[in-house]
C-alpha cells in the first residue's frame, strides 16, 4: 500500500513538472521570437549571391557609372588601378572579382594575347575618344605636323618628351598601336612613365612632358580641372591611313569631335593659343579622330538569371542612368558623353567575344538578336545598320529596331 502511494505521488510530480516545462518553453519562444528576431532590426537577405564590379579610379566617370548601377541592382563596386588591368584581375581572381568595365580595344587586345575563354560580353555604355594632347608652344595642329616634329627633334638629338601611362591603362595599349601606325618607335621619343592620369597632368604642368595620349572623354575630371585655367592643343588620329588603323585595331568608330568640349577658346597669342589665327574664337572647332566603346564584361560562370536581371534593370533604368551621367561634371562646354546608353549600340557585339548567356537571352527577348532572316528589314538605317550587316558573326543575325 505504501509503495502504491509513493508511485502515485511520483507520477503526479512528473505530470506537473512536464506542464511547467512546456509552459516555460512556450513563453521562452514567444520572448525569443518577439525580441530576438533579427528581421525586426535588419534588412531581410534574399540569399542571392552578390558579385563585384571593377570600375576605374575613384572620381572617374566610369566609377560614377558603376556607383549608379549599384544603387539600382545588388552589386558591389571596387575602384581599380586601370581598366586594362581589370581584365587580368577578373580572369585571374574570379572568386573575388567577377565583372569589370574596360574599353572595347582592351577586350579585343587582351583576349587576342591571352587566348582566354572565361570572359563574356554584357553591353556597352558610351564612346571614348582617342586623342593627343600637345603643348601649345609646339604649334602642332595635325598628326602629320606631329610626326614631322618628332623626327626632326630625334635627328637633332633633342627627343620630344612623351608622357605615357603604365600598362594598367587602356591609353598605354592604344598609344603603342597608334605610334606604330605613325611609324614612330619608342626610341624616337623620350618616354616619361606616369603612374596615373593625375601624375601625367602634374608632370605636364611642371614642363616635364611635351605631349601625351589618352583614350578618354570630356568628363575626365583631371582634364576638366586642368583646362579650367589652361589651354592645350588637342589633335585626333583621324588622318592616319585607315588601312594602318584597321591593321592595328579590331574595331573603331570614326568620330568628328568638337574639341570645345575640352578646351576653352581664348585669344590667339604665342603663350596660350597655337592655332594659326583666332578665326575659331567663339566657334566650334572639329577634328577627325576615332573612338572606342566603354563596355561591361563578366566571367562566364555568373548565373544567367543574375546577368539577365542586371541588364534588364540597366535597360529599364536607362533614362535615370543617362541623366546621372549627363549631370556629372557638367560645364558650359556641353561636355556630353557620345552615344550615351544608345539602346541599339549597347547590345552590339562583333562576336570577337561571346555574349554572356543571360545577356544573350535578354537581347533575344527584346528583339535585338534573331535567327529569323525575315526580320532583317527591321534594320534602322539611322543606327549602325551598315555596321551590323557587315560585322555580324556566324552565330546569329543581328538587327536593331526603330526607337
DSSP class per residue in 89-128: HHHH-TTT--EEEEEHHHHHHHHHHH---SEEEEEEEEEE
6: exposed, middle or buried (Cβ count in 10 Å: 0-12, 13-18, 19+): exposed
On whether the CB atoms of residues 199 and 224 are closer than 8 A, the answer is no
Query: Which pLDDT tens digits describe the chain residue by residue (403 residues)?
Result: 555 656 665 666 555 454 443 333 333 332 223 333 333 322 333 435 789 999 999 999 999 999 999 999 999 999 999 999 999 999 999 999 999 999 999 999 999 888 888 999 999 999 999 999 999 999 999 999 999 999 999 999 999 999 999 999 999 999 999 999 999 999 999 999 999 999 999 999 999 999 999 999 999 999 999 998 888 999 999 999 999 999 999 989 999 999 888 876 443 344 434 344 444 444 568 999 999 999 999 999 999 999 999 999 999 999 999 999 999 999 877 899 999 999 999 999 977 789 999 999 999 999 888 776 665 544 443 333 333 433 333 222 333 332 2
Same domain (yes/no): 70, 190? no
Domain boundary among 293, 325, 347: 293
- Residue 256's DSSP bridge partners are 288
Same domain (yes/no): 238, 331? no
Asked whether residue 144 is assigned to any structural domain, the reply reads: yes
Asked whether residue 3 is assigned to any structural domain, the reply reads: no
Residue closest to 245 by CA, chosen among 292, 300, 185: 292
Asked whether residue 18 is assigned to any structural domain, the reply reads: no
Residues 6 or more apart whose Cβ sits within 8 Å of residue 160: 149, 150, 153, 154, 189, 190, 210, 211
In terms of residue numbers, what domain contains 158?
128-293
Which helix or strand (DSSP H or E) is residue 295 part of?
strand 286-299
On whether the CB atoms of residues 252 and 291 are closer than 8 A, the answer is yes
Exposure string of 303-335, with b = 16+ CB inside 10 Å and e = fewer, is: eeebbbbbbbbbbebbeebbebbeebbeeebeb
Cell of 42: 535588419
Same domain (yes/no): 280, 192? yes
Domain boundary among 226, 261, 293: 293
3-class DSSP assignment, residue 235? strand
| C-alpha distance from residue 271 to each of 139, 144, 212, 262, 297 (Å) | 10, 22, 19, 18, 44
Residue-level pLDDT at 285 = 85
On whether the CB atoms of residues 251 and 108 are closer than 8 A, the answer is yes
Same domain (yes/no): 132, 247? yes
Same domain (yes/no): 357, 375? no
Same domain (yes/no): 139, 288? yes
231: how many CB neighbours lie within 10 A of its CB?
18
Same domain (yes/no): 251, 286? yes
Asked whether residue 148 is assigned to any structural domain, the reply reads: yes
On whether the CB atoms of residues 171 and 304 are closer than 8 A, the answer is no
Same domain (yes/no): 271, 261? yes
Residue closest to 336 by CA, chosen among 268, 248, 257: 257
Domain boundary among 293, 308, 341: 293
Asked whether residue 305 is assigned to any structural domain, the reply reads: yes
Cα 4 to Cα 8: distance, rounded to the nearest angstrom: 6
Tally of domains within the chain: 3
Cell of 276: 594659326
Residues 6 or more apart whose Cβ sits within 8 Å of residue 79: 54, 55, 56, 57, 58, 63
On whether the CB atoms of residues 345 and 385 are closer than 8 A, the answer is no
Residue-level pLDDT at 37 = 38
- For the domain that residue 344 is a member of, what is the CATH number? 3.40.190.10
Same domain (yes/no): 322, 197? no
Same domain (yes/no): 190, 70? no
Same domain (yes/no): 376, 363? no
Q: Is 144 left (phi over 0), alpha (psi -120 to 50) or beta?
A: alpha
Same domain (yes/no): 100, 214? no
Cell of 121: 560580353
Asked whether residue 223 is assigned to any structural domain, the reply reads: yes
Asked whether residue 27 is assigned to any structural domain, the reply reads: no
3-class DSSP assignment, residue 164? strand
Asked whether residue 12 is assigned to any structural domain, the reply reads: no
φ, ψ of residue 19 to 5 degrees: the values are -60, -45
Amino acid at each position: 500500500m505504501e509503495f502504491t502511494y509513493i508511485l502515485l505521488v511520483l507520477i503526479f510530480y512528473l505530470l506537473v513538472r512536464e506542464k511547467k516545462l512546456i509552459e516555460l518553453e512556450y513563453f521562452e519562444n514567444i520572448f525569443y521570437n518577439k525580441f530576438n528576431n533579427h528581421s525586426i532590426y535588419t534588412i531581410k537577405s534574399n540569399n542571392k549571391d552578390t558579385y563585384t564590379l571593377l570600375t576605374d579610379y575613384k572620381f572617374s566617370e566610369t566609377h560614377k557609372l558603376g556607383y549608379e548601377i549599384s544603387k539600382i541592382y545588388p552589386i558591389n563596386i571596387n575602384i581599380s588601378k586601370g581598366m586594362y588591368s581589370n581584365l587580368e584581375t577578373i580572369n585571374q581572381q574570379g572568386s573575388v572579382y567577377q565583372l569589370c568595365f574596360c574599353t572595347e580595344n582592351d577586350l579585343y587586345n587582351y583576349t587576342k594575347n591571352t587566348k582566354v575563354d572565361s570572359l563574356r560580353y554584357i553591353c556597352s555604355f558610351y564612346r571614348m575618344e582617342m586623342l593627343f594632347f600637345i603643348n601649345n608652344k609646339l604649334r602642332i595642329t595635325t598628326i602629320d605636323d606631329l610626326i614631322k616634329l618628332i623626327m626632326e627633334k630625334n635627328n637633332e638629338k633633342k627627343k620630344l618628351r612623351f608622357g605615357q601611362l603604365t600598362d594598367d591603362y587602356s591609353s598605354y595599349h592604344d598609344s603603342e598601336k597608334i605610334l606604330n601606325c605613325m611609324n614612330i618607335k619608342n626610341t624616337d621619343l623620350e618616354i616619361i612613365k606616369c603612374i596615373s592620369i593625375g601624375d601625367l597632368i602634374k608632370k605636364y604642368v611642371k614642363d616635364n612632358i611635351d605631349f601625351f595620349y589618352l583614350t578618354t572623354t570630356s568628363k575626365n575630371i583631371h582634364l576638366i580641372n586642368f583646362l579650367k585655367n589652361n589651354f592645350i592643343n588637342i589633335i585626333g588620329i583621324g588622318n592616319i591611313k585607315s588601312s594602318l588603323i584597321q591593321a592595328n585595331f579590331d574595331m573603331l568608330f570614326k568620330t568628328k569631335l568638337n574639341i570645345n568640349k575640352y578646351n576653352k577658346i581664348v585669344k590667339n597669342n604665342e603663350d596660350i593659343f597655337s592655332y594659326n589665327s583666332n578665326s575659331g574664337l567663339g566657334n566650334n572647332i572639329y577634328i577627325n579622330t576615332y573612338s572606342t566603346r566603354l563596355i561591361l564584361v563578366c566571367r562566364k560562370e555568373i548565373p544567367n538569371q543574375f546577368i539577365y536581371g542586371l541588364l534588364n534593370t540597366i535597360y529599364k533604368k536607362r533614362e535615370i542612368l543617362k541623366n546621372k551621367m549627363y549631370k556629372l561634371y557638367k560645364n558650359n562646354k556641353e561636355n556630353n558623353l557620345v552615344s550615351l546608353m544608345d539602346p541599339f549600340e549597347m547590345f552590339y557585339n562583333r562576336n570577337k567575344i561571346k555574349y554572356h548567356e543571360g545577356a544573350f537571352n535578354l537581347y533575344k527577348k527584346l528583339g535585338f538578336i534573331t535567327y529569323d532572316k525575315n526580320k532583317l528589314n527591321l534594320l534602322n538605317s539611322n543606327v549602325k545598320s551598315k555596321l551590323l550587316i557587315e560585322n555580324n558573326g556566324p552565330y546569329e543575325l543581328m538587327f536593331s529596331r526603330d526607337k
